[in-house]
Structure 1
Amino acid sequence: MGPMAECAYAPSTTELSKILSRSSIRTMPFPDHKDPPHEPPKLFLVKRIKHVKGNPYWDKNILKTFGLYSWKLRANKLSLISRGATTGPCECSGTIVKSGQINCQLPELKLLLLFKLATLFQIQGHPSVVVKNIPEVNARLWKIKHLVEITPITFPQGPPQEGDYGGTFLKENGEFVVSPRLQVDSARIEETAKFIGDESKMDGPTLKKQLRLRWLNPVNLD
């Protein structure tokens, strides 16, 4: 990174934020500076690592748009972060894992892959979101870069093809692994769906309730 600008004084935080907000992210490298060759990732894994207490409301609003504001778990939240005129609406849904939140915004991948990104990746204690690497999203990430950790998502085995979605796993370092050993037999999936949808089977809460009522109100059969 080169000098921000040639000026006789150091700009304040407010003035610097106004300068950056005019043209989103702007860099001023040295004349002989050259970026190393690299392939930009299509997806970013964004994890909030700092508390929101004491931050201004505009940072909190950006975190809310990404679904990273609250630590509480929310189920079946539809995330439409990217609605730029050039990119079009993002048609995908997010689901909740045990200890974090994943919202996927990549229309190019299949819906099943989006659910695999959401359900197979588990982060302990930190809400997380998967976003696209586009200027609209990056401009907002730049403003909250002090609150989040951004990890590029890579595909060492290449993008998953049709039939590979069942054997995928997303690591914490951003590697999306495609492994045949993770594939689940279709017969087991059908048997599981049949077991869950069985109307004659009583679920756990119902069993606990009925057994508790029988314990509190015993029937004397003598």
Structure 2
Amino acid sequence: MFRRLTSTITKEVPFVRSYATRYFNKHEGIFYPGGFTYYPRDENEVTPKIDPPKLFMVKRIKPFKGNPHWEKKILRDFKLEGNDVAIVKNIPENNGRLWRVKHLVEIKPITFPNGEPTENDINCSYLKENGELIISKSLEVSKERLEATEKFKNDPVKLDGNTLRVQSRKKWLSGW
């Protein structure tokens, strides 16, 4: 009699393990170029516009020492062995390598609030800690100043560092 009671209970209660995957397979997702599927919550929900950054600022936050050799190799490839910050292109190969060392680095997208720099703007731009690349025209060096510097460096009358050291030492030793 005990067997009949347990067998009827197990037959009446269905057990389904994979109903979550069936639920997602019912809805059509939206595929993005990154290779992932976005499932909207509502049918009327508008898909978010994704404007991926062109460059990432990668900052090492954990020590280099004590990591496996494959993680050290990735950090060396990004030149994060001694330096703390590197600029990395946003391409699938780099994103895959950054995914492997994401626990060792901090990744911030680089934004251009003053517009993207040209070849002439590279010397007068700087990268802030929050990932903004600022182009500052005040950092440009005028041609007059460059010419004056070259004239001063190449002037034969000017005393160079070695001559100044020798003359100063002679004065120090003579006393008068």
RMSD: 3.4
Answering whether residue 154 of structure 2 is matched by residue 210 of structure 1, we say no
Please say which of residues 180-189 and 140-149 is displaced more in the overlay.
180-189
- Compared with structure 1, are the counterparts of its residues 212 and 144 closer, same or farther at alpha carbon in structure 2 (3 Å cutoff)? farther
Give the alignment's TM-score, normalised by structure 1.
0.51
Q: Secondary structure at the match of 1:68?
A: coil
Trace 1:81-96 onto structure 2 (pairs within 5 A). Answer: none
Aligned counterpart, 2:78: 66
Q: Is the 8 A contact 1:168 1:176 kept in 2?
A: yes
Alignment partner, residue 44 of structure 1: 56
Distance in 2, matches of 1:170 and 1:153, equals 8
Deviation at 1:31, TM superposition (A): 3.6
Q: 1:35 to 1:202 in 2, by over 3 A?
A: farther
Bigger Cα Rg: 2
Output one character per residue of 1:3-60: Cα deviation in whole Å (capped at 9) or x when no partner: xxx7xxxxxxxxxxxxxxxxxx975x56437863131111111111111222111111
Contact 1:166 1:184 (C-alpha < 8 Å) held by counterparts: no
1:190 aligns with 2:156: no
Aligned identity (percent) is 44
**What is the alpha-carbon distance in structure 2 between the residues aligned to residue 176 and residue 151 of structure 1?**
12
Partner of 1:56: 68
Contact residue 40 and residue 47 of structure 2 kept, 8 A: no
Gap runs ≥5 in structure 1: 1-5, 7-24, 71-100, 102-126
Task: Please tell me whether residue 32 in structure 1 is matched to residue 44 in structure 2.
Answer: no
Aligned residues: 140
**Residue type at the aligned position of 1:40:** P
1:172 match: 129
TM-aligned CA distance change 1:47 to 1:201, over 3 Å: farther
For 1:186 and 1:165, the matched residues in 2 are separated by 17
Assess, with a 3 A threshold, how the Cα gap between structure 1 residues 181 and 219 changes in structure 2: closer, same or farther. closer
More helix by share: 2
Relative to 1, partners in 2 of residues 1:181 and 1:146: Cα closer, same or farther, differing over 3 Å?
same
**Relative contact order, higher structure (CA 8 A, sep 6+):** 1
Whole-Å separation in 2 of the counterparts to 1:144 and 1:212? 55
1:190 to 1:149, Cα distance in 2 relative to 1, 3 A: farther
* Equivalent of 1:141 in 98, 105, 122: 98
Judge conservation of contact 1:45–1:128 (CA < 8 Å) in 2.
Answer: yes
